[in-house]
Amino acid sequence: MKSRTWQVGAVRITRVIELIAERPPEFGFRNLSPSDIEEQTWLRPHFVTDQGRLRTAIQTFIVESDGLRIVVDTCVGDGKPRNNPGFNELQTGFLTRLEQSGFALDSVNVVLCTHLHVDHVGWNTMRIGDSWVPTFPNAEYLFGRTEWEHWQSENAAGLAGDVAPEIMTGVIDHSAVWADSVKPIVDRNLHKLVETDHQITSEVRLIPTPGHTPGHASVLISSQHEQAIITGDIMHHPIQMSLPHVSSRFDHSVTLAENTRRSLLGEQAGTRTLLLGTHFPPPTAGYVVASEGAWLLDSEPEETGSGNG
């Protein structure tokens, strides 16, 4: 799985993939049919298989700005006990790929989690002996204040929102995630709670994109008259650009998530803002194009294969 780099003004963004999966539509979406997928021919071959399965990625982006290295979302992590078999006790080689891409663990200055779900906080920590310790020992870990307060709630129903109980337990699995991927950071006082419009550098800031979770944020990069947005989970797959009403089974508020998605896509359509989909498999990024009352992703294919480039 190749790394890939984009230049946005003076800012460099590097993608490092943890894993790529091919899943049936019912795994991740509430209201998506095989015929819906079949009609979206633009998704082939990169985002949909010939069998109609959705291709998705779990990956991180390293943003280099103003002399800082900022890791955006930290995937699932290795060796972590999870209720979801697809995430349980993984051994992906992710850290090797990260370091081969030029990022020593102790060279990272900031870790940003767009939200606190299982596949966005996993490499916050790694196992050393019997303990979970910070993967990036010199980094400050940024957690959204609203997101933090949401997951601190003792109201189980409030935590779930529109998410079905079996998804909360079987996939989101928050108690385990908190124990091994968030609490060890907090116990060492390496975290900082920030607002969803927090400015990280002169070129990188958060923008509020609630719905998937109450405190979800995306990342806006602006440098030398060029822009990029790292989406986080306002979309889980490019098909939600063409069918923005399609909701993830993991969205806390289906209505708010759709409204946020439509707003961002509408604002960026026809601009030269590079959209980097946190769960979009290669080619991962492109430009938003209006099409028949919705949107498409105008992206350039990339070479596939092993290694790093």
Distances (CA, A) of 129 to 41, 126, 133, 242: 49, 10, 10, 47
Does the residue 66 lie in any domain? yes
Domain membership of residue 237 (yes or no) is: yes
Domain presence at residue 288 = yes
pLDDT digits 0-9 by tens, 5-19 = 999 999 999 999 999
Q: Which residues of 28-66 are buried (b: 16+ CB within 10 A; e: fewer)?
A: bbeebeeebbeebebbeebbbeeebbbbbbbbbbbbbbe
Summarised one tens digit per residue, pLDDT across range 216-250 is 999 999 999 999 999 999 999 999 999 999 999 99
Residue 77: enclosing H or E segment and its boundaries? none
With 0.85 as the threshold, say if the pTM is over it: yes
Provide the CATH number for the domain around residue 176: 3.60.15.10
Q: Is residue 306 part of a domain?
A: no
Which residue range forms the structural domain that includes residue 247? Answer: 4-298
Task: Specify if 280 maps to a domain.
Answer: yes
Backbone φ and ψ of 127, nearest 5°: -85, 125
How close are the terminal C-alpha atoms of the chain, in Å? 9
Residue 308 lies in a domain: no
pLDDT tens-digit readout, 150-181: 998 766 667 889 999 889 999 999 999 999 99
Number of domains in the chain: 1
